[in-house]
Amino acid sequence: MRQSSVRKGAWTAEEDMLLKNCIEKFGEGKWHLVPLRAGLNRCRKSCRLRWLNYLRPNIKRGGFEEDEVDLMLRLHKLLGNRWSLIAGRIPGRTANDVKNYWNTHLRSRPKQQKGQLKVHKDGEQSKHTMVTIIKPQPCTISKALNLSPYITSQDTHNLLTSSCMEAFNISPGVVSSPTLSADKMNEYLDELFDDPEKEIDDQLGWSFRGFSAERDTLEGNSLFDFPLDDEVMLGLLD
């Protein structure tokens, strides 16, 4: 039986234009309607991916800056292979960009000395930058978080900042819902990232000193749009 075939492979400039016009006219979302609306012989997934990874405004092209790599390493240590979440904290970068960079430069570097990262692209002269490697320790993120095994006492309460307490919906002596408010979690994260004096080396094995994460510029992405993993929580609360 012959099934209707959709086009695959590289996108043409014309297809890009059609998709872009369609998104600008109707907005993001309703991806199942996009091929029809745009007059494209592409599947919904392909359209979505093309938009998110290439056509979307404000996408930063070119090589990763040293600070972006550093941020990526830090976030990967915290989040593991949660590329979309990591990308959400690196302005202008897509999950695909981050994943590609990680897989090609950071995951295994058999031909490069430890401590060296290649940061180049876009005709820019290659440059090798010495970076203190924080060896990634990927952690799995479970689907649901149950805080109760870890937050059981007043003592634990004392370890948390006020916004963290609020974010986790914790009141003294009371263990509450694992359902987190994204806004509250971002508030907590921003406090964690933005406070130059805050050191959490002991908790996470690295420091936020002098490190400031910009607020999300890619709408819809936030680092804590997900329940934290038990391991991450252990790291934070230990």
Shortest distance, position 151 Cβ to DNA, whole Å: 22
Residue in 17, 30, 172, 209 binding DNA, rule: CB under 7 A: 30
DSSP 53: I
Cα gap 72→92, rounded to integer Å: 13
- Ranges within 74-103 binding DNA (CB under 7 A): 81-85, 95-97, 99-101, 103
- Asked if residue 25 binds DNA (CB under 7 A), the reply is no
Nearest 10 degrees: Cα torsion 126, 130, 131, 135: 100
- Asked if residue 106 binds DNA (CB under 7 A), the reply is no
Residue 118's SS3 state is strand
- Ranges within 217-236 binding DNA (CB under 7 A): 220-221
Indicate the helix (H) or strand (E) that contains 88: helix 83-88
In terms of Cβ atoms closer than 10 Å to its own Cβ (0-12, 13-18, 19+), residue 87 is buried
**Closer to DNA by Cβ: residue 33 or 133:** 33
**Closer to DNA by Cβ: residue 72 or 165:** 72
Shortest distance, position 121 Cβ to DNA, whole Å: 4
Cα gap 118→116, rounded to integer Å: 7
Interface residues with DNA (CB under 7 A) are: 7-11, 29-33, 42, 44-46, 48-50, 53-54, 63, 81-85, 95-97, 99-101, 103-105, 111, 118, 121, 143, 220-221
